[in-house]
């Protein structure tokens, strides 16, 4: 539920994707007629080739070594175009967890997929300098930004680094690194999709899943707690990624389960996600900007918020107009590298 077609990992980084695919093809002996050749290879051969060449893990903000490619073949056009030209525009529910990337960065889950986690023993050392170094290493690649890299780094540090008690406030900087990655991987792409669909006449309902089981995350410092990726699974599928807990014995957990499930059931049956008589979940207006988006907060006592991740959205939309690479879509911009 947290990912959209306009998330950067869903759009893919074309230069990396093409290079990785060529390396994989050569490793399994497919330099000519690559597509038909690859179809003849076994899964074991493919896995072995990936291990020997590009590996499985993304080393930085680019999580996936292999992803969809918009080349006019399987995907005829960019999702922006497909959203605009769609003949049928069904109702959409789009939202994210409060701190999506905690799943990767703080909990270290899916380690085969990424290399962006900060091991717990390193948390006390995650000061301002480490925060800046991590942005340089994991986010602002020189190969993408060229001479603009230092400018982009400084802009990111200024935006996400405000509010620390001091330069050694590691909980603050660790949380902000988490928010930075959560914004790039999930939140900004979701906001972009919401606005684009609403603009093109799609009925869209936005949400923020903010509830989490407090006992489950009680070992985390309070500043780092928050609803992360897959946190809605227990209430939808009875699947517990972070450990089993009894939903039905806790009134707050029951309230969130009923709220979330009733919203989805109403959506499936009536095309409108209404959680109950006490809460009216409004749709997003076609003229809304990010700061205008009304969304439901999934909490034991739900409320309607306004401005879904609008500050981060505005920051990234403005930044991409000044630099030669767009981290929100993993693509080059029309801006020349002159900084």
Express each pLDDT in 282-327 by its tens digit. Answer: 999 999 999 999 999 999 999 999 999 999 999 999 999 999 999 9
Residue 167 sits in which domain range?
Answer: 8-332
What's the angle, vertex CA 93, arms to CA 77 and CA 160, rounded to 5? 80
pLDDT in tens, 180-196: 999 999 999 999 999 99
Q: What is the number of other CB atoms lying within 10 angstroms of the CB of residue 211?
A: 26
Statement: residue 126 has pLDDT above 90: yes
Residue 144 pLDDT: 94
> Which whole number is the average pLDDT over 158-173?
98
- pLDDT band with cut points at 50, 70 and 90 for residue 2: low
pLDDT of residue 339: 53
> Helix (H, G, I), strand (E, B), or coil: what is residue 325?
strand
CATH number of the domain at 123, please: 3.40.50.1820
Confidence of residue 12 (pLDDT cuts 50, 70, 90): confident
Are 171 and 131 in contact, with CB atoms under 8 Å apart?
no
Fill in the DSSP letter of residue 285.
P
- Cα(62)–Cα(55) distance, rounded to whole angstroms? 13
pLDDT at 33 over 90: no
Return the pLDDT at 43.
Answer: 94
The whole-number pLDDT of residue 77 equals 92
Q: What's the pLDDT at 278?
A: 83
CA distances 158 to 73, 141, 163, 180, 239, Å, are 41, 18, 10, 12, 39
> Torsions phi, psi of 252, nearest 5?
-70, -40
What pLDDT is recorded for position 133? 98
57, 127, 210, 242 alpha-carbon torsion, rounded to 10°: 50
Task: Indicate if the alpha-carbon torsion angle 129, 133, 135, 138 is positive or negative.
Answer: negative
What does 80-99 look like in DSSP terms, one character per residue? Answer: HHHHHH-S----EEEEEETT
Q: 74: burial class by Cβ within 10 Å (0-12, 13-18, 19+)?
A: exposed
Q: What percent of the chain has pLDDT over 70?
A: 99
Whether 64 maps to a domain, the answer reads yes
Domain count, the chain: 1
Nearest to 187 by CA among 316, 11, 332: 316
CA angle 70, 73, 79 (to 5 degrees): 35
Pick 313 or 277 by higher pLDDT. Answer: 313
In a domain, 3, yes or no: no
pLDDT tens, residue by residue, 244-264: 999 999 999 999 999 999 999
User: With 90 as the cut, is the pLDDT of residue 222 above it?
Assistant: yes
Q: Is 90 exceeded by the pLDDT of residue 334?
A: no
Residue 277 confidence class, pLDDT cut points 50, 70, 90: confident
Is 326 a domain residue?
A: yes
pLDDT at 337: 61
Mean pLDDT value across residues 155-178: 98
Three-state DSSP state, 264: helix
pLDDT in tens, 134-156: 999 999 999 999 999 999 999 99
Percent with pLDDT over 90 in the chain? 83
Domain-embedded: residue 117: yes
Q: Residue 10's closest CA among 68, 78, 58?
A: 68
For residues 4, 8, 14, 17, the Cα torsion angle rounded to the nearest 10 degrees is -80
Alpha-carbon distance of 109 to 93, in angstroms, equals 26
**Rounded to an integer, what distance in angstroms lies between the CA atom of residue 211 and that of residue 38?**
45
pLDDT for residue 66: 87
- pLDDT recorded at residue 1: 62
Judge whether 90 and 268 are in contact, CB under 8 Å: no
For the chain, give me the number of helices (H) and strands (E)? 14, 6
Q: What is the mean pLDDT of the chain?
A: 94
CA distance 85 to 257: 36
What pLDDT score does 29 carry? Answer: 94
């Amino acid at each position: 539920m947290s990912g959209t077609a306009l998330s950067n990992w869903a759009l893919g980084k074309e230069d990396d994707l093409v290079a990785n695919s060529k390396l994989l093809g050569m490793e399994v002996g497919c330099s000519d007629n690559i597509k038909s050749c690859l179809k003849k290879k076994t899964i074991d051969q493919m896995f072995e080739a990936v291990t020997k060449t590009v590996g499985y893990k993304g080393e930085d903000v680019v999580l996936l070594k292999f992803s969809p490619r918009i080349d006019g073949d399987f995907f005829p056009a960019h999702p922006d175009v497909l959203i605009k030209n769609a003949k049928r525009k069904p109702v959409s529910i789009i939202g994210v967890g409060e701190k999506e990337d905690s799943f990767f960065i703080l909990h270290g889950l899916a380690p085969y997929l990424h290399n962006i986690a900060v091991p717990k023993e390193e948390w006390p050392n995650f000061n301002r300098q480490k925060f800046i170094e991590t942005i340089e290493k994991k986010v602002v690649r020189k190969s993408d930004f060229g001479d603009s890299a230092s400018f982009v780094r400084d802009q990111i540090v200024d935006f996400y680094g405000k509010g620390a008690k001091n330069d050694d406030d590691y909980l603050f900087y660790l949380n902000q690194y988490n928010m930075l990655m959560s914004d790039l991987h999930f939140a900004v792409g979701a906001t972009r999709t919401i606005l684009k669909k609403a603009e093109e006449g799609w009925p869209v309902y936005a949400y923020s899943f903010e509830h989490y089981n407090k006992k489950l995350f009680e070992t985390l410092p309070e500043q780092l707690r928050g609803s992360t990726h897959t946190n809605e699974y227990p209430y939808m599928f009875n699947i517990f990624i972070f450990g089993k807990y009894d939903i039905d014995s806790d009134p707050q957990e029951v309230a969130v389960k009923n709220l979330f499930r009733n919203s989805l059931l109403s959506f499936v049956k009536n095309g409108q996600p209404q959680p109950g008589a006490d809460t009216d979940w409004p749709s997003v207006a076609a003229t809304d900007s990010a700061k205008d988006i009304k969304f439901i907060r999934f909490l034991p006592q739900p409320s309607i918020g306004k401005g879904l991740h609008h500050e981060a959205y505005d920051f990234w939309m403005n930044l991409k107009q000044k630099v030669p690479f767009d981290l929100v879509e993993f693509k080059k911009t029309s801006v020349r590298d002159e900084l």
